[in-house]
Amino acid sequence: VEIEQSLRVALDTNQLFLVYQPQVDNQGNCLGAEALVRWTHPDKGVLSPIEFISIAEECGLIIELGTWVIDAACAQFKTWSDNGNHLKKISVNVSPKQFRDINFVNIVRDAIKKHQINPKRLILEITEGIVIKDISDTIDKMTVLKSLGVRLSIDDFGTGYSSLRYLKELPLDQLKIDQSFVRDIINQPKDAMIVTTIISIANNLELNVIAEGVENKEQVTMLIDKGCMQFQGYYFSKPKTAADFTQYLEEQA
C-alpha cells in the first residue's frame, strides 16, 4: 500500500524516466532502442521495474504508467528524428493487463498522432502471458494494432506458454529470444539447439528475430552463424539515459 501511494505520487510528479538500450545489427550499428522504465524514488533512489511493475499491475496503475511510457518513448523518438538521428525503431514493453485494457489501441493511436511518428517504427513488446488468456481476443486486438501500422514482437520468447499455434495465428513481426537461452549458448548444447530452432522458426515464418542478453563476442559470432542478425545486450551497451543515448547516436553517425 505504501509503495502504491508513492507510485501514485511518482506518476503525478514526474519521478519516472526512461532509459534506452541499443539494438544493433551484425556490424554493431544501431538500429533502434528498447525503452525501459526507471523510477527515481525520493527515499530509495532509482528503482528497477522489477520492483514496481507487478505492484502497478496489481493496483491498476499499470494503465497510467504504461500510457506514460508509450507517450514518453514516442516523444523521445520524435526528438531524435527531428535532430537527424534516424532510428529504425523504438521498442516499448507492454504488460498483459495494459494490453487487455479496452482503451489500449486508442492510447497507442493517440501517441503516434500526437508525436507524428511513423507507426511502423514503433514496436510493442508483448509477453507470451498475453496470449494464453483468450486467443481470439488477442488476435482481434493485434489485428487492430497492426492496422495502425505498428509492429508486434513477442518478448522473452520461449519462456512462457509458448504454443506454436499462436505463431500461426497471431499477426506478429518479431520474436525476441530470451536472455536465458542466450546466456549459455556457448557451453550448453541444449541452449544452442533451442536458439537455433527459434531462429529457424522466425526465419521460416518471415519474422524478424533479435537476441537479447548478448554479453560477449563469442555469442555474437554463434548467433550470426545461426542466422540471427539483430542483437541487444551488455556486450554492445547497457541501457543509457536519453542524453547518453543521444551522444552515442552522434558518435555512431
Q: Residues touching Mn ion: how many (CB under 5 A)?
A: 3
Judge whether 62 and 124 are in contact, CB under 8 Å.
Answer: no
Cross-strand pairs, 27: none
- CA-wise closest residue to 96 among 71, 66, 140, 70: 66
CB 93, min distance to Na ion, A: 8
Using CB under 5 A, list all residues that contact Na ion: 155-156
Residues 189-248 that bind Mn ion (CB under 5 A): none
Among residues 7, 37, 108, 228, which is the contact residue for ligand G, using CB under 6 A?
A: 37
Among residues 69, 122, 130, 249, which is the contact residue for ligand G, using CB under 6 A?
A: 69
* Alpha carbons 230 and 73: distance in angstroms, whole number: 21
Number of other residues whose CB lies within 10 A of the CB of residue 150: 23
128 binds Mn ion (CB under 5 A): no
215 binds ligand G (CB under 6 A): yes
179 binds ligand G (CB under 6 A): yes
CB 132, min distance to ligand G, A: 17
C-alpha cell at 187: 557451453
C-alpha cell at 182: 542466450
Which range touches Mn ion (CB under 5 A), out of 85-93, 131-139, 203-211, 241-249? 85-93
- CA-wise closest residue to 229 among 214, 242, 243, 215: 214
175 binds ligand G (CB under 6 A): no
178 binds Mn ion (CB under 5 A): no
Which range touches ligand G (CB under 6 A), out of 44-52, 130-138, 165-173, 190-198? 44-52
Residues 216-235 that bind ligand G (CB under 6 A): 233-234
22 binds ligand G (CB under 6 A): no
C-alpha cell at 55: 505492484
Residues 117-146 that bind ligand G (CB under 6 A): none
Q: Is the dihedral of CA 226, 229, 233, 234 positive or negative?
A: positive
* Alpha carbons 100 and 253: distance in angstroms, whole number: 39
Among residues 145, 239, 242, 245, which is the contact residue for ligand G, using CB under 6 A?
A: 239
230: DSSP letter? E
155 binds Mn ion (CB under 5 A): yes
Phi-psi region of 181 (alpha: psi -120 to 50; beta: other; left: phi over 0): alpha
48 binds ligand G (CB under 6 A): yes
Q: Alpha-carbon dihedral of residues 18, 23, 29, 32, nearest 10 degrees?
A: -60
* Chosen from ligand G, Mn ion, Na ion, none, partner binding at 116 (C-beta under 5 to 8 Å by type): none
- Residues in contact with ligand G by CB under 6 A are 21, 36-37, 48-50, 53, 69, 93, 95, 155-156, 179, 212-215, 233-234, 239
